[in-house]
A = this chain, B = another copy of it.
């Protein structure tokens, strides 16, 4: 009789899991291993297992196809290979599979459905109280966000001096009662005063994060997991190479089979002074080797960008490096890296003291449209002062700003793009114009679609000139007041009257 327990059915692109009892003595995280191999007529996948505490070992798998799968499990503590089978059922409603790069600069789910990324950042929403987490999920449910960046490790920073709900390792943290808003910087990168066993994971911490990933999945939201980051007072950013690799291996084994996981190797990698380029390259290579599903991989900068042309990087995850120009540079980065450009930090809407956290809703929305009309994907964050120091940017909770209310319209307009996505197009010098992505050598003289954005400019009218044959439907979009006005169908030369207000867009779409 098999010692394995598992379900006989899985949903395509869902997590399927096989578990088994094994040794509890010693350090099972470090001293034992289990792995699985999964086969159907279309694929064979090998995956590492992991220890989940209480004598339970697991291997997880995400079936990429429908149909009958067989599997084999081996472990150092199993005398012989154990086998079994299960059925992979059709994907349910809303399950389109993992997100992939499409057409060089864009994204699509594995079933081919285009994915137009509208991200937000809540660094440690997952490590707050149950009530706050529920509130965050409710806020997300009522938003247009379909990606969220957050950390596995807790965060230490201004407004983030409290203890997280749990720690990733067994042990005890430093005494945080010494911390003040004035001295917190002195502890960034600190390890002293902590006592962790970097080889014994706190499985509850990871199980909780999995619950968060699943809750996001059920909302149709991608979980952009920040695996490492510098804002740490516990020594998690200063582990040695062996400890780092032990962590990466565990994280990959646990999380890879969740279809909505993206890998963000780091938030602000360049502030992690104890890590070298060799380290980042090694983590990247581990992901390529050990994540059987090849989830999206990126690495996020503070002042200095990583070389996004590295082959293991699937897309550019960019924090703006200029106080003034952010999304305005998306087209340059597209040309430089030939990958999707995701603006994962274009400053935060809010009013805190820090210069990265106090732009207006208007400016945030402007940066969103600029990014989209230059063929990129924008990301939001919010940092409004409040008496409880609960800021969306780190804690989640409720949104207090103005920009997020307007992302639904932007996403709806993005969804009207013919093809995989938009590319920047230099029509005239004084507008931002996007057209459907074209392959080199396949450019059309007259495009099927133009999305033109006027940013802070306020023209009272604009003249257009196409050929006399092609009929175009013209819509005027007030991106701030969220109105879309159908102006009818035009050919050749025509004028579009505009209200002389900022943040206007014009959509010009070929009539079928």
Q: Residues of A at under 8 Å CB distance from B?
A: 323-325, 328, 350-356, 358-360, 363, 385, 428-431, 455-463, 500, 502
Contacts and interface: CB of A to CB of B under 8 A. Distances in A.
Top 8 nearest A-B pairs by Cβ distance? A355-B430, A351-B500, A358-B458, A351-B460, A353-B459, A351-B458, A358-B457, A385-B460
B323 A324 contact: no
A177 B239 CA distance: 80
Contacts of A350: 458
Given A385-B460, A385-B500, A460-B385, A429 B355 contact: yes
Given A354-B430, A356-B430, 11 more contacts: A323-B328, A323-B429, A325-B325, A351-B459, A352-B459, A353-B463, A355-B428, A355-B457, A358-B459, A358-B500, A360-B502
16 contacts: A323-B430, A324-B324, A324-B325, A325-B325, A351-B500, A352-B459, A352-B460, A353-B460, A353-B461, A355-B430, A356-B430, A358-B459, A360-B458, A363-B456, A385-B460, A385-B500
A231 to B, nearest CB: 17
A466 to B, nearest CB: 16
A117 to B, nearest CB: 23
Of A324, A351, A429, A457, chain B has the most CB atoms within 10 Å of the CB of A457
Contacts of A462: 353
Contacts of A323: 328, 429-430, 455
A324 B370 CA distance: 11
Interface on chain A toward B: helix, strand, loop, or mixed SS?
loop
Contacts of A456: 359-360, 363
Contacts of A463: 353
A459 to B, nearest CB: 5
Contacts of A502: 360
Contacts of A358: 457-460, 500
Contacts of A431: 355
Of A324, A428, A502, chain B has the most CB atoms within 10 Å of the CB of A324
A270 to B, nearest CB: 15
A292 B354 CA distance: 53
A461 B354 CA distance: 9
A360 B429 CA distance: 19
A361 to B, nearest CB: 10
A390 to B, nearest CB: 15
Contacts of A500: 351, 358, 385
Nearest to A500: B351
A463 B185 CA distance: 15
A460 B383 CA distance: 11
Nearest to A463: B353
A365 to B, nearest CB: 13
Nearest to A355: B430
A208 to B, nearest CB: 33
A469 B363 CA distance: 40
Contacts of A455: 323
Of A325, A328, A456, A462, chain B has the most CB atoms within 10 Å of the CB of A456
Nearest to A456: B363
A324 B429 CA distance: 12
Nearest to A495: B353
Contacts of A428: 355
Of A350, A352, A354, A355, chain B has the most CB atoms within 10 Å of the CB of A355
Of A385, A430, A431, A455, chain B has the most CB atoms within 10 Å of the CB of A430
Contacts of A352: 459-460
A328 B431 CA distance: 20
A148 B428 CA distance: 30
A462 B352 CA distance: 9
Nearest to A181: B463
A356 B459 CA distance: 10
Contacts of A430: 323, 354-356
B359 A457 contact: yes
Nearest to A431: B355
Contacts of A360: 456, 458, 502
Contacts of A458: 350-351, 358-360
Of A352, A431, A455, A459, chain B has the most CB atoms within 10 Å of the CB of A459
A324 B352 CA distance: 24
A359 to B, nearest CB: 6
Contacts of A429: 323, 355
A492 to B, nearest CB: 13
Of A328, A356, A458, chain B has the most CB atoms within 10 Å of the CB of A458
A353 B459 CA distance: 4
A323 B456 CA distance: 10
A360 B454 CA distance: 13
Contacts of A353: 459-463
